[in-house]
Structure 1
Amino acid sequence: MGVPGMFEKNIYDQYGLYCDEKYQFGQYEGFRSGSRFYVLMPSLRRHDHLWVQLEWAERLKGRGVPQIAELVTDTAGNMVTRVDGVQQLLFQLPEEEDRSGLSEGEALAMMHEFGDGWVPEVNDLHLYGRWLSFWETRMEQLEAFHHTIDQRLQKTAFDQQFLYTFPYYLGRAETAMQWLVEEGKEHTLPPFHGTVNHTRFKPGAWMAADENRTQVKLPLSFVYDHPARDVGECLRYCYEQDDLAFETEFLEAYARGQTFQPQMWALVGARLIFPLTYVELMEEHYLNEGTNEDRTKTDEVQFEQLLEREERYMQRVSQCLRDTLPRSAEGHWFMRDRSFVQ
């Protein structure tokens, strides 16, 4: 938040819009101007990334995918504008009501179908067929963190928990990578069969300004990958939050638009087994160590919560894979001891 009145002044000076009411859309700041709603998002990618994501958005809108936010340029025609001291992008949320009647699962299946094969010429947005290399790199970084922390003479409570739990999560990551190769057969994926996905899809990932404007999709979250990415991340959220009702609803709705093939489930399984939440927490903590004491306390709480739900989470994952891939998901994949929580 800037100085009271400064945000409104920035918006008027840069875009010629009056800010009638400010909103918080999740982690993003937004506002209403008349009957229209807007949201600001930090500009984190290069312009060539943005052009690809905006092109995807236009194509999806042209194919009938509802409720996609539209970029607004400033009065000088620039896409990126400094607001509250930060380089940001402004998106207008759709004005019309969502009359499609589609659930999140059905709308996601439609996006995956219509976005099939739109390969970007931007490497950072092209994640299809690259999970194994990404996961290996991230685990190598965590191993480096582990070595550094182990050498410290003074260790925090977070450090101690990291040292204690890392061997288990390293084993889980290695299992995920083995599953990705042996069951998911990532190396056999046909080229150009990826589609428009999201960086991290979960229930409620699409923004809602009010009850009539649901499922608003933000182009900055778009990446190119296998549909198993979105499905797997949605299930990860459901299993971590114990929301099995949404899991059932989501899968049934998605299946009305897309067929679940065995390789799809195998790739979903690899994502679920890979300990992404743990990896992200360790990365955030140690890459930003010492910058914010309040953040350190928050990280400690999140770590404890993650450990508390680990056993239940893996039970959900193993059951999911036994249901969908009974021959592949037999005991040896899930027999590793998980009784490390103190």
Structure 2
Amino acid sequence: MKHAIYDQYGIRMERKISFRYYDAFWANRVLYVVTPVSHLEQDELKELQALSEFMIHRQKDIYVSSFVKNKQNEFCCEIEGKNIAIFRIPYQNEATRNLPLGSDLATFHTRSRSYPAKVTAINRIGQWKSLWEKRIDQMESYYYQKVRSNPTDLFDQLFVESFPYYLGLAENAIQYLVDAEMDDRPQPIDAAAICHQRFSTNSWQQQQYAKLPIDWVMDHASRDLAEWIRTECMTSTRSIPNTVQHFIREYESVARLSSFSWRLLYARLIFPIHYLECIENYYTVGHTGNKRAHEDHLKEVLNRSDYYEHFLHSFFDISKVPTRALKIPVLDWI
């Protein structure tokens, strides 16, 4: 890789390291991150690059990483048989370690809403219902295939036993979303913002405080809030209610959520993305060599199902949302 990067970018790699999930290297006291982009279309990359330029130069977000052009003035190229992009990580100082994540996320969302150009390739706002329905239909079809095959494999058995419950959750989430879109009126805070595929504490704060555009999408801000909360519920050993309260309080110190925002956030929490991704990763990505890891992950998701259901039941109380005043419905069966 060292010689290929020099040939393509003219950058002399001095020391190779790992940065989050990616390869990275130091060169002339600057940290660069190499990310795969084979899963992205050219129009998606162009929009991501334009958004990153906007956040860096127009909104002065000093923590956004910038795309690096190669010698052909392009933002991606093929190295060792893979399409990659290189990002320059911003200079770090000690103050960045103490940035409150919730308020910084709210500021990031607020600034990104003023992006003037139309976004199409990475736009997800208003598409949740169709995307969720497609995902569930595909999973349900696969479920019936497995039922007919009388599975003996442990993962298959766990999937067959658990899917009806999560199908019920998904259907309730979709109905809750539909009701919100029909009954409530979006406010300025509900306009599209730069969000992430799956936002978590590690999205910005792992190792060094940096915002990588590679997993950005244009969506409703509740996407990031819901995915951060979901990840905490699924992985954290901290006190979840206190952690969620603190995070929401930080966020709302900058941007108050509307009733529409709360309803979309709740719908996304109900929709069992964590379960669906666990199943999809096993069957579509492949499980050669790490079958046990996939089984253990699914067991962990299932073991946390009672706790997660209890959390959904008490979510609005934990978040101190005045549901009656805002006319936000709470699901009785959870």
The answer to whether the superposition gives a TM-score over 0.5 is yes
How far off is 1:248 after superposition? 3.0
How far off is 1:189 after superposition? 4.3
What pairs up with 1:215-230 in 2 under 5 angstroms?
A: 216-230=210-224
The one of 67, 74, 79 equivalent to 1:71 is 67
CA contact (8 A) 1:67 1:98 kept: no
SS at match of 1:205: helix
Residue in 2 that maps onto 1:8: 2
The one of 314, 320, 325 equivalent to 2:309 is 314
Residue in 1 that maps onto 2:201: 203
CA contact (8 A) 1:266 1:325 kept: no
Q: Are 2:83 and 1:87 equivalent residues in the alignment? A: yes
Once the two structures are superposed, what CA deviation does each residue of 1:253-312 show, in whole Å capped at 9, x if it has no partner? 111110022221111111111100111111222223xx4422322211100010111111
SS at match of 1:206: helix
Residue in 2 that maps onto 1:237: 231
Query: C-alpha separation between the residues in 2 aligned to 1:60 and 1:306?
Result: 36
CA contact (8 A) 2:198 2:227 kept: yes
Amino acid at match of 1:221: D
TM-score scaled by structure 2?
Answer: 0.88
Compared with structure 1, are the counterparts of its residues 255 and 188 closer, same or farther at alpha carbon in structure 2 (3 Å cutoff)? closer
CA contact (8 A) 1:72 1:79 kept: yes
Amino acid at match of 2:53: E
Q: Are 2:294 and 1:296 equivalent residues in the alignment? A: no
Residue in 2 that maps onto 1:178: 175
Amino acid at match of 2:197: T
Residue in 1 that maps onto 2:48: 53
Query: C-alpha separation between the residues in 2 aligned to 1:331 and 1:93?
Result: 44
Q: Are 2:34 and 1:34 equivalent residues in the alignment? A: no
Compared with structure 1, are the counterparts of its residues 122 and 256 closer, same or farther at alpha carbon in structure 2 (3 Å cutoff)? closer
Mean Cα deviation higher: 313-322 or 127-136: 313-322
The one of 164, 175, 179 equivalent to 1:167 is 164
How far off is 1:331 after superposition? 5.8
What pairs up with 1:57-136 in 2 under 5 angstroms?
A: 57-61=52-56, 62-97=58-93, 99=95, 102-116=99-113, 118=115, 121-136=118-133
Query: C-alpha separation between the residues in 1 aligned to 2:291 and 2:184?
Result: 39
TM-score scaled by structure 1?
Answer: 0.86
SS at match of 2:171: helix
Q: State the 4+ residue runs in structure 1 displaced beyond 6 angstroms.
A: none
How far off is 1:138 after superposition? 0.4
Give structure 1 stretches of 5+ with no counterpart. Answer: 1-6, 335-342
CA contact (8 A) 1:119 1:126 kept: no
SS at match of 2:155: helix
Query: C-alpha separation between the residues in 1 aligned to 2:83 and 2:76?
Result: 6
How far off is 1:186 after superposition? 8.3
Amino acid at match of 2:193: T
Residue in 2 that maps onto 1:3: none
How far off is 1:96 after superposition? 5.0
Query: C-alpha separation between the residues in 1 aligned to 2:45 and 2:183?
Result: 27
> Percentage identity across aligned positions?
26
CA contact (8 A) 1:175 1:333 kept: no
How far off is 1:159 after superposition? 0.8
Query: C-alpha separation between the residues in 1 aligned to 2:205 and 2:11?
Result: 21
SS at match of 2:104: helix
CA contact (8 A) 2:62 2:90 kept: no
Amino acid at match of 1:259: R
Query: C-alpha separation between the residues in 1 aligned to 2:322 and 2:280?
Result: 32
CA contact (8 A) 2:180 2:260 kept: yes
Mean Cα deviation higher: 107-116 or 236-245: 236-245
SS at match of 1:293: coil
Q: Are 2:261 and 1:267 equivalent residues in the alignment? A: no
CA contact (8 A) 2:225 2:265 kept: yes
SS at match of 1:229: helix
CA contact (8 A) 1:49 1:122 kept: no
Once the two structures are superposed, what CA deviation does each residue of 1:77-127 show, in whole Å capped at 9, x if it has no partner? 222122232110001101253757632212111111111154764544111
Give structure 2 stretches of 5+ with no counterpart. Answer: none
Amino acid at match of 2:198: R
